[in-house]
Structure 1
Amino acid sequence: MLQRELTREQAVAAGEQVLQGMESAIIERGYSYFSDGVVFNTRVENNRILCSDVQGTQVYHVQLDLEDVQDSTCTCPYTRLCKHIAATFFQMYSVFENPRHFLSRAQQPRRVSFTPAMLIPSYRPVASDLHGNEAAPVSSPLTAASSVSDWWAFFESWTRNLLSAMESYRASSEMFSSYQNVQSVAAGWPRERAQLFHIHANLFHLQKLQQYVKSYRQSNWYPDLAQTAERLLEQLEGAIYFADRQALWADHRPALAETVTIIQKWKENDTSSLYWVYAYRMIWWSLLTDPDWIKQEVAELEQAMQTPNAPAAESEKYRLLRAHFSVMENEDALALQVWKPIRRLPLSFYLPYMKAFARNQEWQRFLFWTEALTELIGSAEAAQYRLVIAIWQEAMKQVGRSDECGAMLKNFLPSSYSEYALHLYEEKQFKQWVDLQMSYQVPLADISSVHLKEIEDADPSLLYPYYVREINRLIRERNRPAYKEAIKLLKKARATYAKAEQESDWERFVDKLSAKHNRLRAFQEELRRGNLNL
């Protein structure tokens, strides 16, 4: 049916947009969904909107805009192009082309491309966007008029058995289920009041998670617990981002004042985990922005910093927190001067600021931070690197420096390896390209034959070191199959030397190689069989 309603050209054009705007991991997960056959009720509306239902943890409804893929929507919590949209795309694409070929393209190194959607938090608040339609109802004495202190008292009662349940069952699932379910308490409340309730539910559960680790795991953050903390922080970022902060300040200032009292106590936490620090900064950065509250918090931090004979870890903690307010005061260099020597701070520690600068189009400020954090960016995990580099390229474009981007990718190695290699190749800087491949120990077999031929045509001598290295590596394996592979490479090298009219150099190379390995009988036999005369 789709074949009659759509064209191959539409499918191909949509595919190019998917490659530009969707992360490889999301495309791969979408392909898995498509392969599992969980996409159904696929139909076309208005000749451009592909609608479908996708069975995930529940049934999600997708609208894929074939003309502008970025405008596609899904009812799942993920706010950017998601795996359900990708699965719907594959369902349509498979009618016209081989989806495996598209997946292979998606898995190849690609230039990242900036879209404003990158700056939107990945997850919206759960519980059906504040209406509680999808979370199990929770019996509670709370009303919309209840105070924040009442909320926290209820949270304590609600979770009285949570830590023991986490110890008995899967800790991460118990924790996140508790957080999701408790949000239904705010169903039917005024929207902004419910938003603030969700923020506090998040803060409470993050604190409870840290209590669990300290009490039951002797400060050992297992991967699934760390992942739960990261999910809670994603939800917190989304809750704050999508909150109506103007309405909160206009109608709920007493509740915000209570929030200040709670968050101020977080300074007493230790920094064996940084998760509470992330939440603390989010709240002050985007929610508790009253100048008097900030002034009071800064004064308390500075007083704590001056405590005589304080343990080094305590002093570092207060300096770390105080530096956050330096950023709020536009004293970025001062903050980075404090943070950069603390080697355990990952790139994710800095990302909230960098995304905020991009949202506010403070491009020079963003570039200042990328220059300061070059080493961290160059060693970051793939998703974080791609996000920063996409914004960085947009920032360079906005300040009129796009032509510098290719060469500057070298600064972000090793993370930028694929993009920098592509730049060198496209600019025909073949010597630097070969040097890069060799320095990263890329096997010759992994190099495209098209690339090798173009370099050979331009300057055959550039490939000599590559051939020599690979030939020597194969000989060191000391087995006949490897020797045979070495002979094949020798024949390729012979053709390269001949093209460069360097026959005498070739003969000397083969003579030295034969003499060096004259005791390897099997290699000598393969060398004779190879008939390697020019």
Structure 2
Amino acid sequence: MQSNYIMDAAGWDKLISEVAHSFDDLTLKRGFQYYKQQRVQAFRMVTPYRIMALVEGREDYAVSIDLDDLQESHCDCPVSGMCKHMAAVLMQYAEEQERPVHSIANAKALIDQPKLHSAPASAVPGRRGEQLKKLAALIPEATVQQWREYMALLVEPLAHTVRNPQYADRALAAITGGQPKLPPAAAMLFKLHAHLCVLESLIRPGGQPLSANLSSLGYSVGYYTSIAISELQKHITDLMKRGLPLAEAPEEWPRVYDTIAYLRSEMLTEARDRAREQPYFSACYSLLWINWITPNLSGPELYTKELKELQQAGEGLSAAAPRHALLLAESRMYALLHEDAAAIEKLHTASERPGLHPEELMSFLPPLAEAGQWRRLALWLAALGPLLNSRMYNLLDYAGYWDEAVRRLPEAEPQMWDTLSGMLPLSREIYEVQLLAYGKWQEWMDMQISSGHQPSDFRVSDLQPIEKNAPELLLPFYHQAVERFVLEKNRHSYKAAVKLLKRLAKLYKKLKREARWEVFLDGFTDRHSRLRALQEELRKGKLIP
């Protein structure tokens, strides 16, 4: 949710300067990783200058940011001074303000840089300027390939500069400055290719593709280049989530076809990093079909044509080349044709080897939910669940789609439980949350007991739903924990046992089983009468005279 308080340009520049002087570079790097992992929770603006948030670390740390004076900010973590949790919150603030996150992450390098300006093509002197001026006049009628040649010429002077966020800003500014006036649909396509041109120059700075056997794209291109790529991809995603008005501009379809061909070629050959990062061109290809093409189609012809193009392109791939992108794209086309069995089969084949990113799988779900196709959504949720096998992925969104499906299609609930239980232990967190949300108190309690959990593993508030709705289920849980504590035979464990016994006494009273409690307590005291320290703790707790 966006902040109600908007920071002006002067305030933003001041904040960047304060961040540069308050944080060291390593802390900003670590904060950026926390921000990317979406660890910033409960973000809210208390006043125009005060931010409150929780950041997930080894524990949940409460962070308070004073934008007027960063030195007055505070975090509950053990670090004294400015920490990565504060940095992550400031980056989240940048996102809320629709400001570039990399400006915070790269503040120390940015603060000494001059403001970036771009000169229009007409202002470039010499022969190159004349060439640009002639090309600019042709852009409104040019093909996508000609657009890209023009863009490459515009960013040519930056070829020898370091690939970092400032480079990306300069390159985009150069292309934007050289863009002639275009109709809305053409302008959106031009903007997309401008970003893709810069993305390509970041990933392949010398025009040579990265080695396909690199273990991680993010590490291979360097930290600041990785920041620039992430920011650029976010801009591309935001752009492509807006509809392309092709109905008012059918003359733009040839450029759309060229865009499909370009992204198809790029995604089939881009390196994959074993699901650490979602492949960039594959993501763009999916967004193109979901948000720009499908809403403008009235029949299946283009999907069928694309399937043939993919199959033909697949025949040209080397035997050693990964086929995840090809299988994923084929699955996308089958899904758009409502041939779900064929689509799911392709995904299962792709998942036989590591390389699919969870977000690529999850991207099949939003169109079904938005279209209200609840039976298909339940089918896809059941099929995708076992494929979401990355421990790095948060399954809360997946559980949310199950909630939507079951709310509209109650008969899908057994299918949800079968799927979630089959995904254990990976699905443990959301499985437990769903059990509580659906009032499956007995199943939740059985899971805790069978897993060897103790009441001390939970906060009191965690157990309140059980105590309110099915208090009798807590009795074996508490009794089992009491016996475990007694077996440890030390003063600390005896105190813990007495604490639980007092909670048991309250439960028996709530259940109106005071007589049974008295019988148990008498037997417990007699059974452990030789444990003097335990007897002392029972007296201190006023459980026995």
In which range does the TM-score fall when normalised by the shorter chain? 0.5 to 0.7
Cross-structure match for 1:499:
514
| Structure 2 Cα separation of the partners of residues 179 and 358 of structure 1 | 35
| Structure 1 Cα separation of the partners of residues 483 and 165 of structure 2 | 51
Cross-structure match for 1:155:
151
Label 1:179 to 1:368 Cα distance change in 2 as closer, same or farther (>3 A).
Answer: farther
Partner amino acid, structure 1, of 2:376: R
Label 1:502 to 1:403 Cα distance change in 2 as closer, same or farther (>3 A).
Answer: same
Cross-structure match for 1:283:
288
1:54 is the counterpart of 2:6: yes
The 8 Å contact of residues 217 and 272 in structure 2, kept in 1 or not, is answered as no
| Structure 1 Cα separation of the partners of residues 306 and 412 of structure 2 | 41
Partner amino acid, structure 2, of 1:302: Q
| Structure 1 Cα separation of the partners of residues 251 and 10 of structure 2 | 36
> Which of the residues 370, 373, 381 maps onto 1:362?
373
The 8 Å contact of residues 354 and 369 in structure 1, kept in 2 or not, is answered as yes
| Structure 1 Cα separation of the partners of residues 197 and 230 of structure 2 | 14
* Identity, % of aligned positions: 20
Q: What is the CA distance between 1:334 and its match in structure 2?
A: 1.4
The 8 Å contact of residues 379 and 415 in structure 1, kept in 2 or not, is answered as no
Cross-structure match for 1:339:
347
| Structure 2 Cα separation of the partners of residues 400 and 456 of structure 1 | 25
* TM-score normalized by the length of structure 1: 0.60
Label 1:493 to 1:254 Cα distance change in 2 as closer, same or farther (>3 A).
Answer: closer
> Which of the residues 198, 207, 215 maps onto 2:191?
198
Instruction: Spell out the pairing of 1:421-432 with structure 2 (5 A cutoff).
Output: 421-423=435-437, 427=439, 430-432=441-443
Cross-structure match for 2:331:
323
Q: What is the CA distance between 1:163 and its match in structure 2?
A: 7.3
Label 1:403 to 1:360 Cα distance change in 2 as closer, same or farther (>3 A).
Answer: closer
Label 1:248 to 1:154 Cα distance change in 2 as closer, same or farther (>3 A).
Answer: farther
> Which of the residues 385, 394, 412 maps onto 2:404?
394
Cα deviations by residue, 1:339-381 (Å, 9 ceiling, x for unpaired): 1351542331123332122233333222221121234569787
The 8 Å contact of residues 144 and 259 in structure 2, kept in 1 or not, is answered as yes
| Structure 2 Cα separation of the partners of residues 523 and 513 of structure 1 | 8
The 8 Å contact of residues 240 and 291 in structure 2, kept in 1 or not, is answered as yes
Label 1:372 to 1:215 Cα distance change in 2 as closer, same or farther (>3 A).
Answer: closer
The 8 Å contact of residues 484 and 526 in structure 1, kept in 2 or not, is answered as yes
| Structure 1 Cα separation of the partners of residues 409 and 470 of structure 2 | 35
| Structure 1 Cα separation of the partners of residues 412 and 308 of structure 2 | 43
Label 1:218 to 1:239 Cα distance change in 2 as closer, same or farther (>3 A).
Answer: same
Gaps of 5+ in 2: 13-39, 55-61, 63-94, 101-114, 122-131, 274-278
Q: Which structure ranks higher in relative contact order (CA pairs < 8 Å, sequence separation ≥ 6)?
A: 1
1:488 is the counterpart of 2:481: no
Cross-structure match for 1:222:
218
Cross-structure match for 1:37:
none
| Structure 2 Cα separation of the partners of residues 320 and 209 of structure 1 | 25
Instruction: Spell out the pairing of 1:58-73 with structure 2 (5 A cutoff).
Output: none
The 8 Å contact of residues 379 and 414 in structure 1, kept in 2 or not, is answered as no
Give the 3-state SS of the residue equivalent to 2:6 in structure 1. strand
| Structure 1 Cα separation of the partners of residues 363 and 494 of structure 2 | 53
Aligned residue pair count? 419
> Which of the residues 469, 472, 482 maps onto 2:484?
472
Q: What is the CA distance between 1:313 and its match in structure 2?
A: 3.9
Cross-structure match for 2:120:
139
* TM-score normalized by the length of structure 2: 0.59
Give the 3-state SS of the residue equivalent to 1:199 in structure 2. helix
Cross-structure match for 1:414:
428
Cross-structure match for 1:242:
242
Q: What is the CA distance between 1:176 and its match in structure 2?
A: 6.0
Gaps of 5+ in 1: 1-21, 31-51, 61-82, 102-106, 108-121, 128-133
| Structure 2 Cα separation of the partners of residues 324 and 350 of structure 1 | 10
| Structure 2 Cα separation of the partners of residues 162 and 215 of structure 1 | 23
Label 1:201 to 1:126 Cα distance change in 2 as closer, same or farther (>3 A).
Answer: farther
The 8 Å contact of residues 431 and 462 in structure 1, kept in 2 or not, is answered as no
| Structure 1 Cα separation of the partners of residues 166 and 534 of structure 2 | 59
Label 1:321 to 1:407 Cα distance change in 2 as closer, same or farther (>3 A).
Answer: closer
Partner amino acid, structure 2, of 1:499: E
| Structure 2 Cα separation of the partners of residues 226 and 466 of structure 1 | 50
Cross-structure match for 1:3:
none
The 8 Å contact of residues 323 and 338 in structure 1, kept in 2 or not, is answered as yes
The 8 Å contact of residues 367 and 395 in structure 1, kept in 2 or not, is answered as yes
Cross-structure match for 1:210:
203
Label 1:528 to 1:59 Cα distance change in 2 as closer, same or farther (>3 A).
Answer: closer
| Structure 2 Cα separation of the partners of residues 272 and 54 of structure 1 | 38
| Structure 1 Cα separation of the partners of residues 328 and 263 of structure 2 | 16
| Structure 2 Cα separation of the partners of residues 494 and 230 of structure 1 | 56
Bigger mean CA offset, 410-419 vs 398-407? 398-407
Give the 3-state SS of the residue equivalent to 1:330 in structure 2. coil
| Structure 2 Cα separation of the partners of residues 380 and 389 of structure 1 | 15
| Structure 1 Cα separation of the partners of residues 168 and 288 of structure 2 | 21
Partner amino acid, structure 2, of 1:311: A
Partner amino acid, structure 2, of 1:193: A
Q: What is the CA distance between 1:389 and its match in structure 2?
A: 4.1
Label 1:491 to 1:236 Cα distance change in 2 as closer, same or farther (>3 A).
Answer: same
Cα deviations by residue, 1:412-447 (Å, 9 ceiling, x for unpaired): 8434256425435xx4x5433433455494743744
Give the 3-state SS of the residue equivalent to 2:210 in structure 1. helix
Give the 3-state SS of the residue equivalent to 2:272 in structure 1. coil
| Structure 2 Cα separation of the partners of residues 445 and 500 of structure 1 | 29
| Structure 1 Cα separation of the partners of residues 376 and 447 of structure 2 | 31
Give the 3-state SS of the residue equivalent to 1:501 in structure 2. helix
